[in-house]
Structure 1
Amino acid sequence: MVKKVLTWGGIAFLIFFIAFRPDSAADVFKSLGGGVMDIAQGFSDFFASLFA
């Protein structure tokens, strides 16, 4: 029950954040995307050096 409430609360907050602060929301998602890309690049470099 608590998990369901927290999930719906998170979704509601996300919609609110995007609706009322679209520029800030875009910056947050760009930062998160950049972080994911950095992690992927790190794994790629690791495996490239491991098998090279």
Structure 2
Amino acid sequence: MNVKKVLVWLAVAFVVFYVIQKPEASADMVKSAGEALGSAASSIAAFVGSLV
């Protein structure tokens, strides 16, 4: 079996285990990641807007 495939399945299994064991912490992590992506998108939009 391909090592990459095994590592991907192990990562998926770990994420599922973590979400089941600590749903509040998982939700906080997703929320903070979403806020970071939103902030980055806003910054990029401001930069592109300043070029015009």
Quick check: TM above 0.5? Answer: yes
Give per-residue Cα distances to partners, 1:9-49, cap 9 Å, x unaligned. 11101100111100000011011111111110111000111
Gapped regions of structure 1 (runs ≥ 5): none
Whole-angstrom CA distance in 2 between matches of 1:41 and 1:5: 37
Whole-angstrom CA distance in 1 between matches of 2:21 and 2:42: 33
Whole-angstrom CA distance in 1 between matches of 2:15 and 2:22: 10
Q: What is the aligned partner in structure 2 of residue 21 from structure 1? A: 22
Amino acid at match of 2:21: F
Question: Residue 38 of structure 2 aligns to a residue in which SS?
Answer: helix
Q: What is the aligned partner in structure 2 of residue 32 from structure 1? A: 33
Amino acid at match of 2:33: L
Gapped regions of structure 2 (runs ≥ 5): none
Q: Give the CA RMSD over aligned residues.
A: 0.7
Q: What is the aligned partner in structure 2 of residue 43 from structure 1? A: 44
TM-score, normalised by the number of residues in structure 2: 0.90
Q: After TM superposition, which residue ranges in structure 1, 4 or more long, deviate above 3 angstroms?
A: none
